[in-house]
Structure 1
Amino acid sequence: MVMVRLSRPDDAARIIEIWRGAVDATHDFLTASDRRELDELVCGFLPQAPLWLAVDAQDRPLAFMLIDNGHMEALFVDPVQRGRGLGATLVRHGLTLHPQMTTDVNEQNDQAIGFYQRMGFIPTGRSERDTEGRPYPLIHLQYRG
């Protein structure tokens, strides 16, 4: 059984492990240099961020989501756990808190775009660069159920 809870300081190492595994499995479009820079940036802030976690019966984190002012900044699932509905569980939880939730997804990540569209998100715009100014276009999405 999967539960959703807020992250705690002792979840930090597992959160980074999930992030690294998920990025390696889904973000093959990143250059090695950008991947290293992102890793350093994420390791600096993610463990302290207020995350929603999907955890198993032993309270082990399997996936996480970060929402800031109604915008989902991150959703990452342990690649071993993909396809079990963990991402959908977290998104549905986020929608109970923020019914008009928005998110951005890398244009090169077709699987993520399809996932969000199946969840009821629609495209509202596009940016040529990611939030750090890198040449990875973003698709802006908003939940419309």
Structure 2
Amino acid sequence: MIRKAKDAEHEQMVSIWLAASIEAHDGVEPGFWRSQRRDMKEKYLPSAENWVYVRDQAVLGFCSLQQNVLAALFVDPAHQGEGIGSLLLEHAKSIESRLELSVYSMNVRAVAFYERHGFGVMDERFDDMTGQWEKVMHLDHDPTEPPRQA
């Protein structure tokens, strides 16, 4: 089930974010992600509209929206590959049909995931904090608009 996150769940969400970030970004020192834990909990999550995927009263994944920006989408590594990320992304797309996001270029699995869900690369930029390149992606199609003519 997907529902709005409760403030009391932020710690669980941060734990998922941390575990998934360390696993997906082996080119970034785990200490960097750990150093960002407090900001994630006290700054980033409170500034976003957060949605959680819950099964048996456990938060297994979440997404965060800041208007039309998908600021975060993370699934507990133990539950990746179960379709939770797709459900969360479809939920975000139902709220905002014109989405933009940034994803580290090194995270080829995530880039492919977003491409499968209709996102295209708009730009690429360097993240000074991590020393990594990231792709800026946007949702290519608004389902309420007619198909583009070539």
Q: TM-score, normalised by structure 1?
A: 0.87
Residue 26 of structure 2, aligned match among 15, 28, 41? 28
> How many residues are matched?
140
The code of the aligned residue for 1:38 comes to: Q
Verify the 8 A CA contact 1:16 1:46 in the aligned structure 2: no
In structure 2, do the counterparts of structure 1 residues 75 and 136 end up closer, same or farther at CA, with 3 Å as the change threshold?
A: same
Rounded Cα–Cα distance in structure 2 between residues aligned with 1:47 and 1:144: 26
Give the structure 2 partner of residue 51 of structure 1.
Answer: 50
Question: C-alpha separation between the residues in 2 aligned to 1:29 and 1:47?
Answer: 24
Contact 2:49 2:66 in 1 (8 A): no
Q: Kindly state the Cα deviation for residue 46 of structure 1 after the two structures are TM-superposed.
A: 4.7
User: Aligned letter for 1:110?
Assistant: V
Residue 89 (structure 1) shift: 0.4
Equivalent position SS for 1:99: coil
Work out whether residues 103 and 142 of structure 1, in 8 Å CA contact, stay in contact via their aligned partners in 2: yes
Between stretches 81-90 and 121-130, larger displacement belongs to 121-130
For residue 128 of structure 1, give the secondary structure of its aligned residue in structure 2.
strand
Change over 3 Å in CA distance of 1:20–1:129 after alignment to 2 = closer
Distance 1:33 1:13, change over 3 A: closer
Cα drift, residue 10 of structure 1:
2.1
- Displacement after TM superposition at 1:72 (Å): 0.3
Give structure 2 stretches of 5+ with no counterpart. 142-150
Aligned-residue RMSD, C-alpha: 1.7
The structural deviation recorded for 1:94 is 0.6
Preserved contact between residue 16 and residue 61 of structure 2 (Cα < 8 Å): yes
Secondary structure of 2:36's aligned partner: helix
Shift, 1:47, TM fit: 5.2
Of 69, 73, 76, 1:75 maps to 73
2:135 aligns with 139
SS at match of 2:82: coil
Instruction: Describe how 1:7-22 pairs up with structure 2 within 5 A.
Output: 7-22=5-20
Structure 1: which amino acid aligns with 2:118?
G
Aligned match for 2:126, one of 125, 128, 135: 128
Which residue does 1:5 correspond to in 2?
Answer: 3
The CA deviation at 1:36 is: 3.1
**Alignment partner, residue 93 of structure 1:** 91
Gaps of 5+ in 1: none
1:60 match:
58
The alpha carbon displacement at 1:42 in A equals 1.6
Deviation at 1:37, TM superposition (A): 2.4
